[in-house]
Structure 1
C-alpha cells in the first residue's frame, strides 16, 4: 500500500488526535531519555549489510515505543525499522504507525551527536501526525494534519530563500552507495554547482525537520524507507514546504526518491535532479 500526502479527504479532524499525540510524546520522550543516557557508551553493533548497522539500543528503543503504542492502541498496526506488529492494514481507515527508533544509527555508533526518534501516523492513505525527537539538543518537532508544525511548542515555518544559488541543501546516501558511488556523487556534483552549500548530516528525519524550520532550504535523498520520512514529511507539509519525488510528483512513502524544500526553490531543485535522472543509469 502506498501512502501519499496530502490525504484522501479525511481532513484534519481526528477525534483521538490529542490521545495520539500524548502517547507519542510519552513514547519518544522515554526513548530519548534512554538514548541520552547511553550515547557515549560502547555499542553492541550488528551488521545488516556493509554500511547498514543496527545496535542493541535500536532494538531496546523500538521495544519502548512499540510498548507505549501497543498498550494505548492495540488495534493499530506498527511498521518499524526492526520489525512490524499488528494485523495487515486492510480497511481505508486503518491507522498505521511508522517508527524509526534511532534515525542516524551510524552517527550513534560513533557517538556523533546527531540522531533522533521518528514516529509518524497514517490513517488509510493520509499522514495525520508526526513527531521527531532529538534527545541531544532536546528538540521535538511535531505536526498534525491541518494544525501546523512546531518545535518545542513554538510554530515553525520553512525559509523564504527563493534562489537555489543562495540555498543550503541537505542530502544523504543509500546503503548501496559503495557499489553505485559514482551515480550518487553525480547528483552531488550537479547540486554543488547550483546551490550555496551542501550538508550531509546522517539523519533523514532531522534533515526534513531542518527544512521545516528553515535551517536547511531543501534536501534530496534516494531509497529512504517509510519510517525514515513519514513524520518528517508531514512536518514539512505543515510548515509550508513541499515534498515530492525527484520529478515533482507527489510523495510516495514507498518510492525511491525524496525531494523536499521550502517550496520556493522546489522547481529549481527538481530541474537539477531530473536532468541527472534522465542522463544516468538507474540503480535497483
Structure 2
C-alpha cells in the first residue's frame, strides 16, 4: 500500500463522496435539468451538486483555505494558506450526451512555492465510472491507485498518439488550431479528442497518450493534470516552450524527447 499525505486523503474522500450522485445522474441523463451558461458550455444540476459536495468536504477539512471553483469562482481564504482549485465535472458535454468520459479534478496551490511563487503541490483526477484515481504529490511521484505512473517512453512521432482539444462554438482560435494540426497530424500515428482535458493529462501521465496540446483552458482544467504529468516524468509548457501556461491559456505536454519535437512543429505553425 502506497502511503500519501493527509491532503490526498481529504481529496480522495471529497471526490468519492461526490461520485455516487454523478453516477446516478449519468444513468438518468435525459431527465437532468440543464441550463445554458455560454456557447458550448453547459451546466447541469449534477455539476452544481458535485461542486457543493466537494466544497463541504474540503471546508470541513481546511476551513481557512480559499478556493477557485469552476461554478462559483473565487472564494477568499487566508492568503498565507494554500487554496483548493476544483473542477467538479470536467467533460460536461460528454456527460450530457451519455458519453462515459468525464472526471472530477482537485488541486492544491501553495502561495509560497519554489522561488516564492505559487505552485501546485497536490492533485487528483477521479473518473467516477471507471473508479480510477490518478493522484500526485510534488516530489513524490504520480500514481494510479497504488501503481506508479510514468509517461510514455516513445521517442518517435510516427509511433505517437497525441491528444488535443478542438475549437468549438467560439472557444479557442480555430485558425491557429488548424495550423498546428496541419503540422502535427502528418507526423504522428494518431490524434484523439475525447472531451476532457483533465483526463487527457491523466492519461498522458499514465502513458496512454504520448503528447497533448490545447489552448483556452481554465486553471481548474489543468492544475492537477500538470502536476500529474510532471511527477510522471513529463514536460508541460505553453506553446512557446515557457512556463506561462495559465497566463497564455495554452498547454503542450509530452515526454522530453517528444515535447521537443512537438514544440518545433507548434512553433513552426505559430510563425506561419
Q: Which residue of structure 2 lines up, in the alignment, with residue 249 of structure 1?
A: 242
Provide closer, same or farther for how the CA distance between residues 251 and 104 of structure 1 changes in structure 2, counting only shifts above 3 A.
same
Provide closer, same or farther for how the CA distance between residues 212 and 25 of structure 1 changes in structure 2, counting only shifts above 3 A.
same
Which has the bigger relative contact order, CA under 8 A and spacing at least 6?
1
Q: Does 2:139 correspond to 1:150?
A: no
Q: Does 2:57 correspond to 1:84?
A: no
SS at match of 1:101: strand
Q: Report if aligned partners of 1:243, 1:251 keep a CA contact under 8 Å in 2.
A: no
Q: Report if aligned partners of 2:167, 2:174 keep a CA contact under 8 Å in 1.
A: no
Count of residues in correspondence between the two structures: 261
Q: Report if aligned partners of 2:172, 2:215 keep a CA contact under 8 Å in 1.
A: no
SS at match of 1:136: coil
Unaligned runs of at least 5 residues, structure 2: 112-117
Residue 278 of structure 1 and its aligned partner are, at CA, apart by 1.8
SS at match of 2:133: strand
Q: Which residue of structure 1 lines up, in the alignment, with residue 21 of structure 2?
A: 34
SS at match of 2:246: coil
Q: Please identify which structure carries the higher helix content.
A: 2
Q: Which residue of structure 1 lines up, in the alignment, with residue 130 of structure 2?
A: 137
Q: Report if aligned partners of 2:85, 2:223 keep a CA contact under 8 Å in 1.
A: yes
Unaligned runs of at least 5 residues, structure 1: 1-16, 280-284
Q: Does 2:91 correspond to 1:104?
A: yes
Q: Which residue of structure 2 lines up, in the alignment, with residue 161 of structure 1?
A: 154
Q: Which residue of structure 2 lines up, in the alignment, with residue 126 of structure 1?
A: 119
Q: 2:9 aligns with which of 22, 28, 33?
A: 22
**Coordinate RMSD, CA, aligned:** 1.7
TM-score by structure 1 length?
0.87
Q: Which residue of structure 1 lines up, in the alignment, with residue 46 of structure 2?
A: 57
